[in-house]
Amino acid sequence: MSKVTFKQSGKTLEWTGDHESILELAEANGIDLDFGCRMGNCTACQQPVLSGEVDYPMGHTGVPEEGNQLLCCSVPKGDVVIDA
Ligand code: FES
């Protein structure tokens, strides 16, 4: 099972597949992060990903800055470390 680490929050969570996105996983575990559209358009939910990769099962139209990923519509591909 993949692990999602939120470095600044000091939490490492298991990705069980019960959440639709990394953002939802964070929120369910008391980590409050910025968001807007929650549909991959506005990029408000972008955060730096320090290691690992994510997947976008539903796609996205917003383009995050280099090194960042959109957490509202992404799922981990293996273990990931997010600087949030
Ligand atoms: S909240 Fe708008 S792109 Fe993620």
CATH number of the domain to which 49 belongs: 3.10.20.30
pLDDT band of residue 61 (cuts 50, 70, 90) is very high
**pLDDT surpasses 90 at 50:** yes
Distance 43 CA to ligand 1 centre (A): 5
Distance 35 CA to ligand 1 centre (A): 6
Query: How confident is the model over 41-63, as a mean pLDDT?
Result: 98
The preferred substitution site among 73, 74, 75, 82 for testing ligand 1, maximizing ligand atoms within 8 Å of CB, is 73
Torsion of CA 25, 80, 76, 61, to 10 degrees: 90
Q: Answer whether residue 1 shows pLDDT above 90.
A: no
Instruction: Indicate the number of domains in the chain.
Output: 1
Tell me if 41 CB under 6 Å of ligand 1.
yes
Domain containing residue 39: 3-82
Of 38, 79, 78, the C-alpha closest to 60 is 38
Torsion of CA 41, 47, 50, 54, to 10 degrees: -30
Q: Give the pTM.
A: 0.97
Cβ of 38 closer than 6 Å to ligand 1, yes or no, is yes
pLDDT band at 80 (very low <50, low <70, confident <90, very high): very high
